C-alpha cells in the first residue's frame, strides 16, 4: 500500500481506515490510522494464548506525548463519551503499513516517526520512535494502557491491586491474577510507576453494531525518553520475559528484507504484490506447530470451510506448497464419518462438524494441490480420505447428508443448524433455511465425484474410477433435470421433497466455475447473465436479488438487522472469484475477456489500496455506495480475488501436465465478453 498523506482526511475518514499486523500465531495488532481504537477487538498486542485461538487484548493502546521546549504535544487519540482526547491526529501527517505500520508526526520544529513490529511466532510487540528532524533534543513519554481480557469481553475498573514488579530498571513484570495473564514490558528509557485506571473509553463501532462499547483501561505508569535528532528509542510488550537487545535484533532481522511473498512472474504488478502480502497474514501456526489458515481478523476463529475454499488462493498461487500439503494432511487426520471440521472454537476446545460442504471443498483443494505441485505421493495418501468421504456421503452420514435415488445430495433438516455457508441464525432459527438439495452442494458433489474418478484411475483403481464416473453422470443428469428453472432461466437454489426455492442467489455460479461444471453447457450464458443482471456489484456478488421481498441491501444497525442482511442481500467479494472464473470459462481466455475480468475485480483491488489499508473486508452493502461490513480482513475475500486475478486475469495457472487432460476442460461457448458489460 502506498503511503497515505493524512492532511486531507477528516477524523471520521481516518477512523474508517483500519490497519492490521500479525504475528502468524493468530495474534495481531490492529487499530485505526490515528490509533484511536473503535472496536473492542483493537489493540497493539492481541495475543493468541493457545495459538491460534484463545486470543486476549493485552496492550490496548499507548498514549505518547512529545515535549518540545517544555510544551506538550500529544500524539495519541482516544474517544470518550463527550470528547475525543487527546487529539494527536492533528499532528499525524502520513501513514504506511508496508512492510509494517509506520506513522509520521510533525509539528513546528520536529518530526517523529513511529514504527510497530510484531515478532513472527511470538506474542511480542516492538514500538520504536525515531526523531527524524529537530534542532534540539525532545522528551517523549509513552504510557501503556492495558485491557488484559479476552477479545470478546470488556474490562471494567476493579479493586484488586495490579502492581508491576521491576525485574530491572528497564524490564518490568505484571503478575497474573485469577482473571488476567502475566505481561512483561521493557524499554530503553526511564520508568515511573504510577498505576491508575483510565475510565470510559468509547468504542464507536461496537455501539453502532448494537454491542456494549465502553471500557476501562489500566496503566502501570509512564516511560520517559530523551531523543536527540536521529536517535531511536523502543518500548516492548510481551507475554514472555524480555531481553531487550535480543528482541530488537530479532525485529531488525525479521524485517530487514521485508517484501511480498514470492509469486510466479518476473515482475509482479501492484495488485499481485498487495494481494500476496494480504494473503500471507492469514497463514498461522497452531498449538501443535502445524500451519493452518485464519478465516479473518479481528474476531474470527479458524474455519474448516474457509480453509478449504481459501487454500488455492492463499497457498498455491503464492507458492507455499509445503504449507498447503501440511494443511491438507492435518484436515485429513481430522476426518470423521466423511466430515471435515467446519469450526475451531475460539476457546480452544474440540473442533465442530457442522458443514455439509467442507469435505467437498477439501476434495477440490486436493485436486488443486496436485495441479500446482504434481505431488503424486501426497495425493495418493489423501485419496484414501477422499474415497471415504464419497462413500460416506453416498450412503448417508451426519447433518442429514445423503444421496437420493437420483444421486443428488441433500443435507440438513428442520431443527438442525444450517449446514451450508449461508448459516446466519436469529434466535436459533436460520435466516436462510436451505434444508434439502442445495445447488452449490450438488455442484460440489458432482465435482468431487469426477475428481475421485480421475484420482482412482490415476492410482490404478479402474473399477472404482468407473463406478464414480457412472454415478457422477447420474448426478449430472438429475441436476439438469431438477435444478433448472425454465421460468427464471437459471437454477433453483434449493430443491425440497415437494417444493423448489426459486430465489435468485449466487450459489448457482458454482455449477459453472468448478473444475467439473455440473450444469449443461448450453445454460452457462443464461446463468451468467442472470447473476450479472441481479447480483453483480462493483464490490462483490449479492447473496439475494434486490427483486426478492426478503432482500436486505444494507448491512447495518443492530445485531438482528445485520444477521438478517448477512446472506439476504449483502455483497461478498469472495464470490467474484467463482464468477470471474465462470466468465472466463464461458468466453475464453483471450485478452478482451481477461480485461473484462479485471474490471470486475477492480472494486476490491481499489479497496485494498485505499479504505481497506492492505486488506479486503468480508462483505459490502448490496446497495450503492456499497459500504464495507463484517470482518475488516477476510481470508475468503483475499484468497478468491487473488486466485481469480492470478489465474483468470494474468493467466498464471500452472501447465496441467500431471493430471488428465479432461480435468476442468470445458469448451467456450461464446465469443463476445461485451455481453456482460
Chain mean pLDDT for the chain = 92
**How confident is residue 669, by pLDDT bands cut at 50, 70 and 90?**
very low
Site of grid cell 462493483: 538
Rounded Cα gap, residues 662 and 677, in angstroms: 31
Which pLDDT belongs to residue 662? Answer: 35
* Residues 16, 65 share a domain: yes
* Residues 279, 246 share a domain: no
By C-alpha distance, which of 517, 523, 547 is closest to 535? 547
* Residues 276, 248 share a domain: no
By C-alpha distance, which of 21, 14, 43 is closest to 98? 21
- 348 falls within a domain: yes
179: three-class secondary structure by DSSP:
coil
* Residues 214, 362 share a domain: no
Other CB atoms within 10 A of residue 553 CB:
18
* Residues 298, 192 share a domain: no
pTM over 0.85, yes/no: yes
Contact partners, residue 601, CB within 8 Å, separation at least 6 = 576, 580, 641, 644, 645, 649
Structural domain total, the chain: 2
Please write the tens of the pLDDT for every residue from 137-146: 999 999 999 9
Site of grid cell 476446545: 349
Other CB atoms within 10 A of residue 174 CB:
23
- 64 falls within a domain: yes
* Residues 274, 218 share a domain: no
Q: Which domain holds residue 192?
A: 4-255
- 262 falls within a domain: no
Which pLDDT belongs to residue 671? Answer: 38
Rounded Cα gap, residues 608 and 610, in angstroms: 6
pLDDT over 80 at 266, yes or no: no
Is the Cβ–Cβ distance between 145 and 217 less than 8 Å? Answer: yes
* Residues 298, 232 share a domain: no
Cell of 278: 494480504
Please write the tens of the pLDDT for every residue from 501-515: 999 999 999 999 999
- 265 falls within a domain: no
304: phi > 0 → left, psi -120 to 50 → alpha, else beta; which?
A: alpha
**How confident is residue 670, by pLDDT bands cut at 50, 70 and 90?**
very low
Please write the tens of the pLDDT for every residue from 46-90: 999 999 999 999 999 999 999 999 999 999 999 999 899 999 999
Q: How far is CA 272 from CA 3, 261, 262, 495, 553, in A?
A: 18, 10, 10, 40, 31
Q: How far is CA 594 from CA 382, 510, 531, 656, in A?
A: 34, 19, 19, 20
Helical (H) or strand (E) element with 481 = helix 462-482
Q: What is the mean pLDDT of residues 252-269?
A: 64
> In angstroms, what is the C-alpha Rg of the chain?
26
Half-sphere exposure of 197 (CA within 13 A, CB side): 14
- 672 falls within a domain: yes
Residue 237 pairs with which residues in a beta bridge? 125, 185
Identify which has the larger pLDDT, 556 or 268.
556
Residue 62 pairs with which residues in a beta bridge? 144
Q: What is the mean pLDDT of residues 399-406?
A: 95
* Residues 313, 249 share a domain: no
- 142 falls within a domain: yes
Rounded Cα gap, residues 165 and 148, in angstroms: 17
Rounded Cα gap, residues 446 and 363, in angstroms: 11
Please write the tens of the pLDDT for every residue from 194-217: 899 999 999 999 999 999 999 999
Other CB atoms within 10 A of residue 385 CB:
22
- 84 falls within a domain: yes
Contact partners, residue 416, CB within 8 Å, separation at least 6 = 399, 400, 435
**What's 492's DSSP letter?**
-
Cell of 581: 472464473
Residue ending a domain, among 201, 221, 255, is 255
By C-alpha distance, which of 58, 36, 40 is closest to 49? 58
Site of grid cell 462438524: 353
Q: What is the mean pLDDT of residues 391-416?
A: 93
Please write the tens of the pLDDT for every residue from 553-594: 999 988 889 999 999 999 999 999 999 999 999 999 999 999
SS in 3 state form for 583-642? Answer: HHHHHCCCHHHHHHHHHHHHHHHHHHHCCCCCCCCCEECCCCCCCEECCCEEHHHHHHHH
Half-sphere exposure of 655 (CA within 13 A, CB side): 1
* Total count of residues recorded for the chain: 677
Please write the tens of the pLDDT for every residue from 352-373: 999 999 999 999 999 999 999 9
527: three-class secondary structure by DSSP:
helix
Supply the DSSP string of 36-86, one letter for each residue.
---STT-EEEEEEEETTEEEEEEEEEEEEEEEETTEEEE--EEEETTEEEE
* Residues 421, 547 share a domain: yes
* Residues 502, 396 share a domain: yes
* Residues 345, 295 share a domain: yes
pLDDT over 90 at 287, yes or no: no
Cα end-to-end distance, the chain, whole Å: 29
Half-sphere exposure of 435 (CA within 13 A, CB side): 15
Alpha-carbon dihedral of residues 240, 245, 251, 257, nearest 10 degrees? -150
- 264 falls within a domain: no
Cell of 238: 510481551
Percent of the chain at pLDDT exceeding 70: 94
Largest CA distance in the chain: 85
69: phi > 0 → left, psi -120 to 50 → alpha, else beta; which?
A: left
Cell of 258: 521485508
**How confident is residue 163, by pLDDT bands cut at 50, 70 and 90?**
confident
Which pLDDT belongs to residue 262? Answer: 44
Please write the tens of the pLDDT for every residue from 647-661: 999 999 886 534 443
pLDDT over 50 at 634, yes or no: yes
Other CB atoms within 10 A of residue 656 CB:
15
Which pLDDT belongs to residue 268? Answer: 54
Q: What is the CATH number of the domain that holds 325?
A: 1.50.10.10
Q: What is the CATH number of the domain that holds 193?
A: 2.70.98
Residue ending a domain, among 208, 227, 255, is 255
160: three-class secondary structure by DSSP:
coil
* Residues 312, 251 share a domain: no
Rounded Cα gap, residues 485 and 504, in angstroms: 11
Amino acid at each position: 500500500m502506498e503511503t497515505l498523506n493524512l492532511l486531507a482526511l477528516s477524523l471520521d475518514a481516518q477512523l474508517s481506515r483500519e490497519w492490521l499486523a500479525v504475528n502468524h500465531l493468530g495474534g495481531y495488532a490492529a487499530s485505526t490510522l490515528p490509533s484511536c481504537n473503535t472496536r473492542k477487538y483493537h489493540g497493539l498486542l492481541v495475543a493468541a494464548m493457545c495459538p491460534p485461538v484463545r486470543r486476549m487484548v493485552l496492550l490496548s493502546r499507548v498514549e505518547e506525548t512529545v515535549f518540545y521546549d517544555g510544551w506538550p504535544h500529544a500524539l495519541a487519540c482516544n474517544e470518550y463519551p463527550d470528547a475525543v482526547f487527546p487529539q494527536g491526529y492533528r499532528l499525524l501527517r502520513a501513514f504506511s503499513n508496508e512492510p509494517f505500520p509506520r506513522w509520521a508526526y510533525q509539528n513546528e520544529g520536529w518530526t517523529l516517526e513511529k514504527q510497530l513490529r510484531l515478532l513472527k511466532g511470538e506474542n511480542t510487540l516492538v514500538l520504536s520512535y525515531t526523531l527524524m528532524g529537530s534542532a534540539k533534543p525532545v522528551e517523549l513519554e509513552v504510557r501503556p494502557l492495558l485491557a488484559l481480557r479476552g477479545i470478546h469481553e470488556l474490562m471494567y475498573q476493579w479493586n484488586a491491586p495490579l502492581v508491576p514488579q521491576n525485574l530491572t530498571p528497564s524490564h518490568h513484570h505484571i503478575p497474573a491474577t485469577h482473571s488476567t495473564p502475566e505481561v512483561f514490558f521493557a524499554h530503553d528509557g526511564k520508568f515511573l510507576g504510577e498505576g491508575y485506571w483510565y475510565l470510559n473509553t468509547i468504542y464507536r463501532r461496537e455501539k453502532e453494531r448494537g454491542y456494549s462499547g465502553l471500557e476501562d483501561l489500566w496503566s502501570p505508569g509512564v516511560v520517559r525518553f530523551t531523543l536527540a535528532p536521529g536517535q531511536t528509542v523502543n518500548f516492548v510488550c510481551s507475554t514472555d520475559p524480555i531481553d531487550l537487545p535480543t528482541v530488537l535484533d530479532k525485529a531488525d532481522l525479521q524485517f530487514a528484507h521485508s517484501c511480498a511473498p514470492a509469486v510466479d512472474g518476473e515482475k509482479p504488478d501492484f495488485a499481485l504484490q498487495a494481494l500476496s502480502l494480504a494473503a500471507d497474514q492469514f497463514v498461522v501456526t497452531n498449538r501443535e506447530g502445524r500451519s493452518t489458515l485464519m478465516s479473518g481478523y479481528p474476531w474470527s476463529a479458524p474455519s474448516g470451510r474457509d480453509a478449504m475454499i481459501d487454500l488455492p488462493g492463499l497457498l498455491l498461487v503464492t507458492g507455499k506448497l509445503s504449507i498447503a500439503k501440511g494443511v491438507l494432511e492435518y484436515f485429513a487426520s481430522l476426518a470423521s464419518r466423511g466430515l471435515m471440521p467446519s469450526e475451531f472454537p475460539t476457546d480452544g476446545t474440540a473442533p465442530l462438524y457442522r458443514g455439509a460442504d467442507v469435505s467437498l471443498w477439501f476434495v477440490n483443494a486436493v485436486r488443486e494441490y496436485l495441479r500446482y505441485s504434481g505431488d503424486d505421493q501426497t495425493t495418493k495418501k489423501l485419496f484414501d480420505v477422499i474415497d471415504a468421504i464419497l462413500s460416506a456421503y453416498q450412503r448417508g452420514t451426519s447433518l442429514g447428508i445423503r444421496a437420493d435415488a437420483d444421486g443428488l445430495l441433500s443435507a440438513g433438516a428442520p431443527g438442525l443448524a444450517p449446514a451450508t455457508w449461508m448459516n446466519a441464525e436469529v434466535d436459533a432459527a436460520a435466516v436462510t433455511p436451505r434444508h434439502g438439495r442445495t445447488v452449490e452442494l450438488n455442484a460440489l458433489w458432482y465435482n468431487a465425484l469426477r475428481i475421485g474418478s480421475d484420482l482412482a484411475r490415476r492410482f490404478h483403481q479402474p473399477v472404482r474410477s468407473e463406478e464414480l464416473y457412472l454415478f457422477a453422470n447420474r448426478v449430472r443428469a438429475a441436476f439438469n433435470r431438477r435444478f433448472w428453472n425454465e421460468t427464471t432461466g437459471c437454477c433453483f437454489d434449493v430443491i425440497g421433497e415437494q417444493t423448489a426455492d426459486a430465489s435468485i442467489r449466487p450459489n448457482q455460479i458454482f455449477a459453472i466455475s468448478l473444475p467439473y461444471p455440473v450444469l449443461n453447457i448450453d445454460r452457462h450464458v443464461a446463468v451468467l447473465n442472470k447473476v450479472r443482471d441481479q447480483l453483480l456489484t462493483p464490490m462483490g456478488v449479492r447473496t439475494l436479488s434486490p427483486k426478492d421481498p426478503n432482500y436486505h441491501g444494507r448491512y447495518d444497525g443492530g445485531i438482528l438487522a445485520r444477521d438478517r442482511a448477512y446472506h439476504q442481500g449483502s455483497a461478498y467479494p469472495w464470490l467474484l472469484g467463482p464468477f470471474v472464473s465462470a466468465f472466463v470459462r464461458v468466453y475464453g481466455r483471450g485478452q478482451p475477456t481477461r480485461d473484462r475480468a479485471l474490471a470486475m475485480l477492480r472494486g476490491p483491488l481499489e479497496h485494498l489500496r485505499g479504505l481497506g489499508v492492505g486488506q479486503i473486508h468480508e462483505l459490502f452493502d448490496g446497495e450503492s455506495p456499497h459500504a464495507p461490513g463484517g470482518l475488516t480482513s477476510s481470508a475468503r475475500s483475499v484468497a478468491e480475488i487473488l486466485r481469480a486475478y492470478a489465474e483468470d486475469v494474468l493467466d498464471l495457472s500452472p501447465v496441467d501436465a500431471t493430471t488428465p487432460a479432461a480435468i476442468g476442460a470445458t469448451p467456450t461457448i461464446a465469443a463476445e465478453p461485451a455481453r456482460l458489460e
